[in-house]
Chain A
Amino acid sequence: EVQLVESGGGLVQPGGSLRLSCAASGFTFSSYWMSWVRQAPGKGLEWVANIEQDGSEKYYVDSVKGRFTISRDNAKNSLYLQMNSLRAEDTAVYYCARVHSSSWYVGYWGQGTLVTVSS
């Protein structure tokens, strides 16, 4: 059974940093592109970042470029999102997502972890 379990969310002050983790199991992690997708309270879904299977290609939505870094450790079956210079508008539930890069859909989602940026 495919499982994606996020952790690392919490309350952080504006300008602060946070690192999210996603533990993957039930599939060959190193064979898939992975993504982070976020959802602000009461709002829609927003793709945040993608990373290729070996970590060599990474892509970001414009609003987080230069502040967020996506990475992975295939030996640990784990995906990460380092978030720096956090802003109030980054407040959201962050979902770890397994991507089918043949046609760019999310086949599996984690349960999400809430990040709140507030003073």
Chain B
Amino acid sequence: QSALTQPPSASGSPGQSVTISCTGTSSDVGGYNYVSWYQQHPGKAPKLMIYEVTKRPSGVPDRFSGSKSGNTASLTVSGLQAEDEADYYCSSYAGSNRSVVFGGGTKLTVL
């Protein structure tokens, strides 16, 4: 039940693209296509942005996209906007005991 590894911070200027990585193991990220991403603004509950590696819930802008290669998943935010500034967390099913593991979070700053 070790946490997934994310960079603590990322940044970009408005209109640019930024990619946040999420590294796990073959027991979680690499073993299942069950990676999800959440956005959290200060003092608010998390919000689902991506599920099943690449799928976007209705209402989430298509500027947000997800991918996976081996044990590393990625979230890309294109056309950065001021409101994208938030903390982002990845998550993966970890199989044993129906457990779910989260990443440590990445603070995205829009310069």
Contact = CB atoms under 8 A, between A and B. Distances in A.
A45 B89 contact: yes
Contacts, number: 68
Contacts of A111: 45
Interface in A42-84: 44-47, 50, 57, 59-62
Contact of A95 (B45, B92, B103): B45
B93 A35 contact: no
Contacts of B51: 100, 103, 105, 107
* Band of interface residues on B: 20 to 34
B6 to A, nearest CB: 9
Contacts of B103: 44
Contact of B99 (A37, A47, A95, A105): A47
Interface of A: 35, 37, 44-47, 50, 57, 59-62, 95, 100, 103-107, 109-112
